[in-house]
Amino acid sequence: MNKMTFKVLVAVIATITFGTVLGQSKDEMIAQAVLPLPEDLRAGAAVYNYNDAGQRIMLRGGSNHIECKPRDENGFTSCSGKNTAVSRDYRAKLAASGLEGEELQAAMRAAEEAGTIEPAPFGSLFYRLYEKDDRIQLLWAVMLPNATSEELGMSTESQRDNSLAGMGRPWMMREGTPSAHLMIPINGTDLSNAGGAPDRLDTKAITDRVAHAKLPLPEDLKAGASVITYNESGERQVLHEGSNMIECRARDESSGFTRCYHEDVGGEMDIRAKLTAEGKSNEEIGAAIDAARENGSVNTGVFGSIAYRLYENDDKLKLLWVLRLPNATSAGLGMPTGSQRDNALAGKGLPWMMREGTASAHLMIPINSTQVSNKAM
């Protein structure tokens, strides 16, 4: 099925909302409701809706940790972790009583403060689909209440216009507030906004080491980022002093990776470079880093902080951002774990969690359809 045919099918399925007189079957409603999810979560997701009184109506029980709500009157289809169901049910009842806007938000905050409902766990993932091109069509969002861009190393420059053109990158909204979150526009899929970068950037032609080192970053973080490298002995050398919280390491010729990260994890990078220069194996380096984390000699990075990576050949993910989630689980944060490596190599990868439940748990975020991304296949 080609992309245009698929989009037409999705539009047909999605035109009828819950309870309409147009005769949408329950199976059709369920099929539409799970569309924001990756394939590995769809079959096991529960599906529900609310009646006019704000009461929950189950359309399908599920077998995994996700539940979805069919397309609503505003055109949004949404999915979330089941562990946030109580909060969403409470919101639905308040909305049914007539509360809306800031009044509704204030009531939700008051309920959380009173212990009536639990806030969504920090790092929870929310999935949203919209079927028209005047908004971001496939959008995932990570909840980061009260976090700031400074502590997590994130961009705050809106990518809405780029996202509508099919080439948006993640960015943080409402930093420092209870509703702070990371917007992750998904480019390159059959459900995404059409478009993408019209031209590819020849990154290998960029000979300025400082400029090249900053390529993985969003534009608003580039100017203030520091740039370092390591000599053959694994000793740190500063190529450019920066003014923000981001540090970039110039391209590692042995691995082909260019990396940027929050300056707090610079100590870990120093240990890795030193042990690599000594000829230690990956297993030995990993064990040493784990030990250093446990004894507190290196900073493990803030939960939810982001790292940026660029690779310049087609055999690996080219533009990859990584969200650190130490010891988190997919069920706890409502995340998928099915690998998207092959899809990402084809320019249509979705985020997925790796190494859940361990100190190195993280969310892989392949960035599709930019000038430095894997070419769409």
In the chain, where the domains are located: 1-11+24-119, 203-366
> Would the pLDDT of 19 be above 50?
no
pLDDT score of 23: 53
> Would the pLDDT of 5 be above 60?
no
Longest dimension (CA), the chain: 72
Nearest to 193 by CA among 23, 372, 348, 71: 348
| Tokens encoding 314 | 């087609």
pLDDT score of 24: 74
To 10 degrees, the CA torsion angle through 203, 208, 213, 215? -40
> Would the pLDDT of 253 be above 60?
yes
> Would the pLDDT of 8 be above 80?
no
> Would the pLDDT of 196 be above 60?
yes
Alpha-carbon distance values, 330 to 186, 348, 360 (Å): 19, 21, 13
Mean pLDDT, rounded, of the chain: 93
Average pLDDT, stretch 282-301? 87
- 365, 141 in Cβ contact below 8 A? no
Place of tokens 């799970």: 34
Orientation angle between helical segments 266-277 and 282-295, nearest 10 degrees: 140
> Would the pLDDT of 180 be above 60?
yes
The secondary structure element, H or E, covering residue 96 is: helix 85-96
pTM of the prediction?
Answer: 0.91
> Would the pLDDT of 82 be above 70?
yes
194 in helix, strand or coil? Answer: coil
What is the rounded distance in angstroms from the CA atom of residue 277 to the CA atom of residue 232?
6
- pLDDT greater at residue 362 or residue 23: 362
Give the CB-side neighbour count of residue 202, counting CA atoms within 13 A. Answer: 3
φ, ψ dihedrals at 371, nearest 5°: -65, -20
pLDDT score of 295: 87
The pLDDT > 70 percentage for the chain reads 94
What is the rounded distance in angstroms from the CA atom of residue 11 to the CA atom of residue 305?
36
Q: If you write DSSP's letter for every residue of 224-269 in order, what string do you get?
A: T-EEEEE-TT--EEEEE--SSSEEEEPP-TTT-EEEEEEGGGHHHH
Q: If you write DSSP's letter for every residue of 313-375 in order, what string do you get?
A: STTS-SEEEEEE-TT--HHHHT---S--HHHHHTT-PPPEEESTTSTT-EEEEE--SSTTSPP
